[in-house]
Amino acid sequence: MKNPYHFLTYGFTLLLLGFIQHPCKAQAVNQQTKINQQVQSLLSKMTLEEKVGQMAQVTLDVITKGKDRFSSFEPVELDPKIMDDVFNKYKVGSILNTANNRARTPEQWYTIISGIQKFGKGRLNIPVIYGIDAIHGTTYTAGATFFPQQIGQAASRNLNLIKKGAEITAYETRASGIPWNFSPVLDLGPDPRFPRIWETYGEDPFLTSEIGKAVVKGYEGDKNDISSPFHVASCLKHFIGYQVAVSGKDRTPAYISDQALRDYHLPPFKAAIDAGAHTIMINSGLINGVPVHANYEILTNLLRKELGFKGLVVTDWGDIENLHTRDRVAKNNKEAVMMAINAGIDMSMIAYQYEPFCDDLIALVKEGKVKQSRIDEAVTRILTLKYQLNLFEKPVTNYKDYPKFGSKEFENAAYQTAVESITLLKNNDNILPLKKTAKLLVTGPNANSMRTLNGGWSYSWQGEKVEDFASKYNTITEAIQNKVGAENVSFIPGVSYKMDGKYFEEYADKMDEAIAAAKDVDAIVLCLGENTYTETPGNLSDLYLSDLQTEYAKKLAATGKPVILVLNEGRPRIISKFEPSMQGIIMTYLPGNFGGDALASVLFGDENPSGKLPFNYPKFPNSLVNYNHKPSESRSVVEGVYNYDADYNPQYEFGFGLSYTSFAYSNLKLSANSILANDELTVTVDVKNTGNREGKEVVDLYLSDLYASITPDVKRLKGFEKISLKSGESKTISFKLNKTAFSFVNADNKTVVEPGDFEITIANLKAKFNIK
């Protein structure tokens, strides 16, 4: 370079111009510089003990009055004696979760958190950071607005509605005095056996990435300004490769090649990190034999050096301890702490036993086994987050400043999301929509339960306390009766769940009476599925829907009356043993407090269904292949020549979902037939509503790389858009594809575009192009 000064001046001018053009950006940079200075100044005053305390997080039950650390007396009250040990002696910097696994009112939250802030700030006035799982709405706040769980949100394919839901959740979480949300889950959910499928956005990396970005912006604001009292810090989880355990059970070993990790599991996390997410939580499980909490390669090389993540890394519940007690890679707690902190953990969600974590970490630093610089790095990130959240100025937000908490406006958004999530899977002879004058039997274990509409993470971890809080909302039966009057709608359970904590136990509950009553009605609305669960208690031995529910469905079908099957479940339980005898099938997932109302509107045609499956709905337990499988998993079958019964054959495929109107696709056009890898390709298609009522359609674009150095997937989703069309109306939809869409991860773990032939599929249309 001839004149470096010229370059510098030029660069400076550009920078200045940039700031003039983007005053907000300049302001944000100034703000961050100020925070960096404040953090460094604070850090320089802190003792080792104070620093280690910042890295510790305990659960609320620990600091309340109660018989032990694991529970609290009601009404919940902070215990000054215990808090003295936790905050003054051990200098703990973060609290999480609720007490007694039960939701609290916004007033109670205010009392609890302001009490903590008063007590917990220590000699340097450092506020405590409170974190919570506000998963589909503010889980642990009574009166908060509950949306469909993530899996249903994904079925809606409506990014605006999903983002709005995240904004409302951020608002209501701050109304509860809490600034940090352990959400969203960006794990893929490719295995229907896993108990946390409903916490995901389904099996596809692109769909998960697009929704993840929208949700991070919903929680943190478009500019990620989390100092706003209406935004919260998001926490991406569970980094990385959770939910693909070989056994299909929670927190058991996964074996994932680096290639697959990068090609499928990484994109959603990368997209959300690029969208500015402030924190991330680590996968509780192990990959290729190594617990992720002890994996330097993943926590530091991949997350920090490669993805450039600058925010805070928190463990999952008790996962440092688990390195010793469960996974046995550490011979004692101290070694576990050393491994995790050296691998790159900033904060330990200890939950209960804070003493050993703090004592061991202090000793490790003194012995030189954990470097002081590693501690400073972690604490810098924690203090930075506290400053960014404006906690030093305002350690607790007050519910009185949140007049829209639980408002009609918010409830409408939740209702609308529930409507758009509902997925119509079968509608033989247009049995749906039902006439409002039809005589109906509403039945099944999910027909009259707010608990099953909401699922886990609803007022309590496993969802077992829903009925204590949700009586003002409508079950499916209540919503149907509200819509068409109680005279024509009878409810008899037929099958019920046992409510004693055994989540999957069921019993016949007036089954004969229900079958007799079925003979006198025009149609049967049969609500089957699962009771609530999450995490390990939701592990499953049999993916078929239970024997009792299957038997009941068959008996009802045998009455000869049309049966409309309503599925209310967190994962696709197999229904192939009786599916052919059902005349209509509606998937509701876990639609939340407005799920009953939304379903009733769809059943009677006040709303037109538009949800699309975010996973393959399997037909058999040994055929759990995803839509983006390899060609050898779906050969063309020569009928009658061999037995290909086990070929790719889902009950319903990813992206499937019917409407009460019909759509026709035409004019699929590409901007070029041959391009270079760096070129952009524009794809357009016309969509027409050919039916006689207004409807919403999701236009999905799939790309197939026809030949590649690693066997390509048959197709991959690379674009989607949800549109609304009046009867007879047409729209031209346009997608832009670039290098990111054309690329995949090769055998050397490099993201590459390989020249060759590609094919685009939109609905029944296909078009080919070539990359030179």
User: Residue numbers of the site for ligand BGC (CB under 6 A)?
Assistant: 97, 133, 182, 237, 284, 316-317, 535
**Residue nearer to ligand BGC on the CB measure, 133 or 346:** 133
Per the omega criterion (within 30 degrees of 0), is the bond before 433 cis?
A: yes
The rounded distance, in Å, linking the Cα atoms of 590 and 450 is 10
**Residue nearer to ligand BGC on the CB measure, 460 or 559:** 460
Give me the least distance between CB of 345 and ligand BGC, in Å please. Answer: 15
**Residue nearer to ligand BGC on the CB measure, 100 or 761:** 100
Find all residues with CB under 8 Å of 525, minimum gap 6, and list them: 440, 441, 442, 443, 447, 476, 480, 564, 566, 603
The rounded distance, in Å, linking the Cα atoms of 530 and 335 is 41
Length of the chain: 772
Report the DSSP pairing between strands 312-314 and 279-282.
Answer: parallel
The rounded distance, in Å, linking the Cα atoms of 224 and 212 is 14
Give me the least distance between CB of 133 and ligand BGC, in Å please. Answer: 5
- DSSP annotation of 395 reads S
- The residue from 133, 316, 700, 705 that is catalytic is 316
Give me the least distance between CB of 270 and ligand BGC, in Å please. Answer: 20
Give me the least distance between CB of 686 and ligand BGC, in Å please. Answer: 43
Instruction: Let me know: does 165 contact 420? Beta carbons within 8 Å.
Output: no
Instruction: Give the residue from 139, 212, 192 showing the smallest Cα distance to 570.
Output: 192
**Residue nearer to ligand BGC on the CB measure, 189 or 444:** 189
Residue 772 CA from chain centroid, whole number: 39
The rounded distance, in Å, linking the Cα atoms of 733 and 699 is 8
Instruction: Let me know: does 571 contact 542? Beta carbons within 8 Å.
Output: no
**Residue nearer to ligand BGC on the CB measure, 97 or 616:** 97
Give me the least distance between CB of 189 and ligand BGC, in Å please. Answer: 14
Task: Please say if 316 is a catalytic residue.
Answer: yes
Q: What are residue 237's phi and psi, to 5 degrees? A: -150, 160
Give me the least distance between CB of 605 and ligand BGC, in Å please. Answer: 38
**Residue nearer to ligand BGC on the CB measure, 97 or 477:** 97
**Residue nearer to ligand BGC on the CB measure, 350 or 545:** 350
Residue 745, CA distances (Å) to 230, 610, 713 in order: 39, 33, 12
Residue 54 CA from chain centroid, whole number: 28
Instruction: Let me know: does 586 contact 609? Beta carbons within 8 Å.
Output: yes
Please provide the DSSP assignment of 115-151 as one string. Answer: HHHHHH-TTTTPPPEEEE---SS-TTBTTPPPPPPHH
- DSSP annotation of 255 reads -
Give me the least distance between CB of 396 and ligand BGC, in Å please. Answer: 20
Active site members: 316
